[in-house]
């Protein structure tokens, strides 16, 4: 199935094609038509399934149609049309970047709003109004209290990673926001798991009650099986390594373990070309894609990799965005990515559609903080393997789970705002509050 069949217009199809997406993912096939039909949605799907595009593309399409055919005018000051709530500032920024990317041929505005930074520029930006606002709950509530923002023109509410927001204790803020929204809005809820607390949250969607089946029918439930998501079927492991032995180690693994295929992620463009020549010197045929190679060349290399003719592809993270290769068996983080989300996206390229996959990361001493952030995001430590003949001079300590980057830590000045937006409260508190809120909402 193509994206065009899903009812998206040319400017959106162009953006998708440019990113190299050839086919909609499972969640996109199901969610896009439903969202275009104004349905409310409760979707179980994890990062790596293409869930962001599954709501951003149809929401852009709806704004585009309303502007074009229904004569909808520009957004008023301090107003917002699409409100997306996310648990963290990283996710807010990432979703906002996706909106800008998918909507680059359209002139809709978007903004990420989160705590821990100065409020003044955010307030200033809101004065003009914004079509898509992607926000963490704490800062959003602050803005509403300060009357920097009004919700009377909200058409759609998206709750992204709802289970994580609940785990982080945002329940009161979320209800506070929902209570202020217009009743006739569309509601889209995405969550890795559909536990009782998440389902309970969906009962706040107008007219929907878990015990009231006739209304409940309005809510479309989509379950993307764990096999279609990243983490579950992927064997993740890491090797600690000294920077100067990385290319020798890679060549060794390719040969010793007789790798049939590998997508190798590297940080820098010039590093990609250098690695290809280092591999070739050791008799391994490889090629690379990066931002400095022409589009036609990138497509050619990619086609050769997809057909199996080229077995080892070295790619920078940016160039590899949107690469969809059906049954990729192995990805290698030759350089560990800086953002945990990027790690999850990368490893999500393997193990797709239930196939077994392997994700191997090379971790050098300087990567320790990144490793801590990644393992904290995964919620577990990635197993380590030692490779004979490759002893490390600079050992990487075992990471600290629940690590928070310095930039995300509350300092004295913004401690309160930060606490709201990044500090998890205990599950117990969050759940107790869910219970408290649940009672009056059941009809
Ligand atoms: P998400 O689940 O939204 O975090 O997306 C995971 C990754 O899949 C992102 O890097 C997207 O750019 C990519 N992606 C989304 N939709 C598609 C598609 N239809 N084909 C290929 N890649 C996609």
Instruction: Give me the CATH number covering residue 257.
Output: 3.40.50.300
Q: Are 63 and 132 members of one domain?
A: yes
Q: How far apart are CA 54 and CA 29, in angstroms?
A: 8
Asked if the structure places residue 432 within a domain, the reply is no
Closest CA to ligand 1's atom 18: 21
Cα within 13 Å of Cα(160), Cβ side: 28
Asked if the structure places residue 398 within a domain, the reply is no
Asked if the structure places residue 430 within a domain, the reply is no
Q: Which of 31, 32, 52, 339, when mutated, tests ligand 1's pocket best, judged by the most ligand atoms within 8 Å of its CB?
A: 52
Q: What is the pLDDT of residues 364-423, one digit of tens each?
A: 999 998 999 888 877 778 999 999 999 998 888 887 766 666 555 544 334 444 444 444
189 close to 112: Cβ distance less than 8 angstroms: no
Q: Are 211 and 267 members of one domain?
A: no
Closest CA to ligand 1's atom 12: 322
Q: How far apart are CA 231 and CA 345, in angstroms?
A: 10
Q: Are 335 and 189 members of one domain?
A: no
Q: How far apart are CA 33 and CA 8, in angstroms?
A: 9
Q: Which atom of ligand 1 is nearest to the CA of 19?
A: 12
Q: To the nearest whole percent, how much of the chain has pLDDT over 90? A: 52
* Domain-ending residue, one of 352, 384, 416: 384
CA of 25 to the centre of ligand 1 (A): 8
Looking at residue 353, what DSSP letter applies? G
Closest CA to ligand 1's atom 13: 322
- Taking the CA atoms of 288, 362, 96 and 183 in sequence, report the sign of the dihedral they define: positive
Looking at residue 223, what DSSP letter applies? E
Asked if the structure places residue 397 within a domain, the reply is no
CA of 96 to the centre of ligand 1 (A): 14
Residue ranges making up the domain that contains 324: 231-384
* Domain-ending residue, one of 186, 210, 227: 227
Query: What is the model's pLDDT at position 327?
Result: 64
Query: What is the model's pLDDT at position 323?
Result: 60
Q: How far apart are CA 156 and CA 108, in angstroms?
A: 15
With b for 16 or more beta-carbon neighbours within 10 A and e for fewer, the 42-76 pattern comes to bbbbbbbbbbbbbbbbbbbbbbbeebeeeeeeebe
Asked if the structure places residue 74 within a domain, the reply is yes
Q: How many domains does the chain have?
A: 2
Asked if the structure places residue 423 within a domain, the reply is no
Q: Which atom of ligand 1 is nearest to the CA of 21?
A: 20
Q: Are 241 and 176 members of one domain?
A: no
Q: What is the pLDDT of residues 238-255, one digit of tens each?
A: 999 999 999 999 999 999
Closest CA to ligand 1's atom 6: 48
Q: Are 73 and 160 members of one domain?
A: yes
Q: Which atom of ligand 1 is nearest to the CA of 23?
A: 19
> Which value, to the nearest 10 degrees, does the dihedral of the CA atoms of residues 166, 198, 171, 218 take?
150
Q: Which atom of ligand 1 is nearest to the CA of 98?
A: 12
- Report the run of H or E that residue 40 belongs to, with start and end: strand 40-44
CA of 28 to the centre of ligand 1 (A): 10
Q: Are 214 and 288 members of one domain?
A: no
* Domain-ending residue, one of 334, 366, 384: 384
Q: Are 174 and 35 members of one domain?
A: yes
Q: Are 72 and 184 members of one domain?
A: yes
Q: Are 272 and 373 members of one domain?
A: yes
Q: What is the pLDDT of residues 325-360, one digit of tens each?
A: 656 789 999 999 988 878 887 887 776 545 578 999
Q: How far apart are CA 260 and CA 344, in angstroms?
A: 22
Asked if the structure places residue 255 within a domain, the reply is yes
Q: Are 129 and 262 members of one domain?
A: no
Residue 257 token pair: 């373990």
Alpha helix ranges (H) inside 37-147? 51-69, 89-102, 120-126, 137-145
- Residues with beta carbon inside 6 Å of ligand 1? 21, 23-25, 28, 47-53, 321-322, 324, 345, 348
Asked if the structure places residue 107 within a domain, the reply is yes
Q: Are 182 and 72 members of one domain?
A: yes
- Does pTM surpass 0.85? no
Residue 82 token pair: 């699409």
């Amino acid at each position: 199935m193509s994206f065009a069949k899903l009812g998206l217009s040319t400017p959106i199809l162009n953006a998708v094609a440019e990113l190299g997406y050839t086919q909609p993912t499972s969640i996109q096939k199901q969610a896009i038509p439903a969202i275009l039909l104004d349905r409310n949605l409760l979707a179980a799907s994890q990062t790596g399934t293409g869930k962001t595009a599954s709501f951003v593309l149809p929401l852009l399409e709806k704004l585009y149609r309303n502007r074009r055919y229904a004569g909808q005018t520009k957004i008023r000051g301090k107003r917002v049309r699409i409100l997306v709530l996310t648990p963290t500032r990283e996710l807010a920024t990432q979703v906002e970047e996706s909106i800008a990317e998918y909507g680059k041929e359209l002139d809709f505005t978007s903004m990420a709003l989160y705590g821990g930074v100065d409020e003044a520029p955010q307030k200033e930006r809101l004065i003009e109004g914004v079509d898509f606002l992607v926000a963490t709950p704490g800062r959003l509530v602050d803005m509403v209290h300060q009357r920097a923002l009004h919700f009377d023109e909200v058409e759609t509410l998206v709750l992204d990673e709802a289970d994580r927001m609940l785990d982080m204790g945002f329940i009161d803020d979320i209800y506070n926001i929902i209570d202020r929204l217009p009743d006739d809005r569309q509601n889209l809820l995405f969550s890795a798991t559909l536990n009782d607390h998440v389902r309970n949250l969906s009962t706040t969607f107008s007219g929907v009650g878990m015990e009231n089946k006739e209304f409940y029918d309005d809510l479309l439930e989509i379950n993307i099986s764990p096999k279609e998501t990243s983490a579950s079927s992927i064997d993740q492991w890491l090797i600690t390594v000294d920077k100067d032995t990385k290319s020798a180690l890679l060549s060794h693994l390719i040969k010793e373990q007789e790798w049939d295929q590998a997508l190798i992620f590297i940080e820098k463009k010039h590093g990609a070309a250098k690695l290809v020549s280092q591999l070739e010197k050791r008799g391994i045929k490889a090629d690379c894609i990066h931002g400095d190679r022409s589009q036609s060349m990138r497509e050619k290399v990619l086609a050769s990799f997809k057909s199996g003719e080229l077995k080892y592809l070295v790619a920078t993270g940016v160039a590899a965005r949107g690469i969809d290769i059906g049954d990729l068996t192995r990805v290698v983080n030759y350089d560990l990515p800086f953002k945990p989300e990027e790690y999850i996206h990368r490893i999500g390229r393997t193990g797709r559609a239930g196939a077994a996959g392997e994700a191997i990361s090379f971790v050098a001493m300087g990567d320790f903080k990144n490793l801590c952030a990644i393992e904290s995001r995964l919620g577990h430590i990635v197993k380590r393997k030692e490779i004979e003949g490759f002893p490390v001079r600079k050992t990487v300590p075992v990471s600290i789970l629940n690590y928070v980057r310095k930039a995300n830590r509350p300092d004295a000045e913004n401690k309160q705002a930060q606490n709201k937006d990044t500090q998890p409260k205990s599950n117990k508190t969050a759940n107790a509050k869910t219970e408290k809120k649940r009672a009056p909402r059941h009809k």
